[in-house]
Amino acid sequence: MCPRCLVTTIDGMKEFDVVTVRGLRKAYGTRTVVDGLDLDVRAGEIVGLAGANGAGKTTTVECIQGLRKPDAGALNVLGYDPVSEAAQLRPLIGSQLQESALPDRLRVAEAVQLFATRSARDGDELLEQFGLTARRRSAFSSLSGGERQRLFLVLALLNRPRLVILDELTQGLDPAARRDVWAAVRRLHEAGTTVLLVTHEMDEAEALCDRVLVMRAGRVLDSGTPAELVNRHAHHASISFTWPGEVIPIPLLDELSQVDGARQLERDGLRVTVRGDRGTIAYVGASLVRNGTVPTDLNVHVPTLEDALLSLLDPEPDRYAPVHARPRDGDELVGGLR
Ligand code: ATP
């Protein structure tokens, strides 16, 4: 037990666990922002923390790094208590924090020199690996957003950390720079480094993370692989198209509204949307081909991690409850098509 707070160390931590957190609690003043959080990160995993603004993600990773003192809970990071053994733990963690910045005039190579400890990796090799060799002599202020993030990754990795913590790594980067940074994180993963990643970008979490925890108001709402979260919380796929002729054939609408898994058929003029499960997409496609047409503006939406996150953070009654969308003779919908 840490003498100055209620934090206890976890004796039963397994050897392959890099981070074990039980019942983490942290308040700022009277406001509790992390409220009984449990978290496990195993060696070699990339684990994502996602959720609403102010959910307590950054506070959580700051407690894990020993930058903030928890009010209660049990934490073990790489075998150390981040509160009472912060000095031993710090050299084992490489971090790129949300508010990272370096002095404007500091050159890239100087930054690497400044951050390197005696056991550091070869800085030039890392700069080469992250595509920064040509920028060795450039001042920090002259780097693009993507180059800065890659430099922070170099600095985070320099001292051979066993755990890397990345907080909103690709915020504000253009699509190409984001892909570069993702590729760099994948290389870390392949080299067996354990990564804890705070992100609002669900495509990023889907692309990089083995597991994701979704937080709201200091608590974990659910966790799992991206696919598990999608399966549990984002059910609806949809396929839409504009019928290329002047009138949509009634038998086709009839058929589409009955394909396997279809839950709703919506029509707006010649535009048709069928919602259902993933399989619905295949059946609608097959129906269209059987009816001799493949519309050029066919648009497919499959459930994503972002859908799962939105549904977790803001649950609402099933918008697409099964409806009998099948057009019937004399039905207003059908009549409107003629
Ligand atoms: P975001 O996604 O917006 O970065 P987050 O999930 O990382 O948010 P935190 O940064 O941990 O959340 O903040 C949790 C809450 O605690 C927020 O309401 C924030 O305003 C508040 N907070 C954070 N740091 C402090 C502090 N030093 N003093 C007081 N309140 C703070």
Domains of the chain (ranges, CATH numbers): 6-224 (3.40.50.300), 235-337 (3.30.70.980)
The better pLDDT of the pair 95, 96 is held by 95
Predicted local confidence at residue 268, as pLDDT: 92
Mean pLDDT for the chain overall: 85
Distance CA 51, CA 103 (A): 31
The pLDDT of residue 333 is: 38
In the predicted structure, residue 327 carries a pLDDT above the cut 90 = no
Report the amino acid identity of residue 162.
Answer: R
State residue 319's pLDDT score. 55
pLDDT at 148: 87
For range 129-134, the mean pLDDT: 88
Does residue 336 register a pLDDT over 70? no
Supply the pLDDT for residue 15: 54
Q: How far is the CA of 67 from the centre of ligand 1 (A)?
A: 14
Residue 213 has pLDDT above 90, yes or no: yes
Instruction: List pLDDT tens digits, range 231-265.
Output: 899 878 999 999 988 889 999 999 999 999 899 99
CB 235 near ligand 1, within 6 Å:
no
Judged against a pLDDT cut of 50, whether residue 66 lies above it is answered with yes
Asked if pLDDT for residue 13 goes beyond 60, the answer is no
Integer angstrom CA distances of residue 59 from 4, 40, 49, 97, 174: 19, 16, 11, 11, 27
* Mutate which of 58, 65, 97 for ligand 1 pocket (most atoms within 8 A of beta carbon): 58
As to burial, measured by CB atoms within 10 angstroms (0-12 exposed, 13-18 middle, 19+ buried), residue 31 is exposed
Q: Give 33 Cα–ligand 1 centroid separation in angstroms.
A: 7
pLDDT at 26 over 80: yes
Q: Please, are residues 273 and 183 in contact by the beta-carbon 8 Å criterion?
A: no
The pLDDT tens digits for 272-295 are: 999 998 889 999 999 999 988 889
Which residue out of 59, 197, 201, 215 has the highest number of ligand 1 atoms within 8 Å of its CB and is therefore the one to mutate? Answer: 59
The token pair that represents 133 in the structure block: 């060799």
Rounded to 5 degrees, φ, ψ at 83 are -85, -55
Tokens (6 digits) for 56? 């307590």
